[in-house]
Structure 1
């Protein structure tokens, strides 16, 4: 396993390692790798706290679409009213 792959595995298991939820062999491997990758894990953790949640972008798009559809619905209603009034005069 190359250095990049080890770093990726370490970062994936870091939270479980800190909580002590790994098996003995995995805990030992994490202890051995900790001096090499701990700065990366702490940097990644602080960076992820500052980012928006993964679903936030989708929620924003859904909210935008709801506003757009509501506006289109209102325009349709106003057009229908205007056409009805125009037809009778």
Structure 2
């Protein structure tokens, strides 16, 4: 395994390692590699707690589209009213 692969395995197993839910062989491997990758694992762990939920960006886009469509609808109605008033006078 190369360095990147080892780091990704360590990061994937880090939470289970901290909770003590790994088998003894895996725990030993994690203990051996902890000094190398713990800093990255702690950084990712703290960074993930500040991120928004996975669907938050999609919800934001949907909300933006709803506001855009509503404003276009209102503009169309106002234009129709203005044209009707302008046509009759």
Task: Measure, in 2, the Cα distance between the counterparts of 1:23 and 1:86.
Answer: 80
What are the Cα deviations for residues 19-56 of structure 1, in whole angstroms up to 9, with x where unaligned?
23333432332222222211221122223333444433
Gaps of 5+ in 2: none
Unaligned runs of 5+ in 1: none
1:61-72 correspondence to structure 2 within 5 Å = 61-72=61-72
Counterpart for residue 16 of structure 2: 16
> Which residue of 1 is the match for residue 76 of structure 2?
76
How many correspondences in the alignment? Answer: 89
Aligned CA RMSD, in angstroms, stands at 2.0
Length-normalised TM-score, structure 1: 0.77
Partner Cα distance (1:12, 1:20) in 2: 14
Aligned to 1:34: 34
After the TM superposition, which parts of structure 1 deviate over 6 Å for at least 4 consecutive aligned residues? none
1:4 corresponds in structure 2 to: 4
| TM-score normalised per structure 2 | 0.77
For 2:41 and 2:31, how far apart are their aligned partners in 1? 13
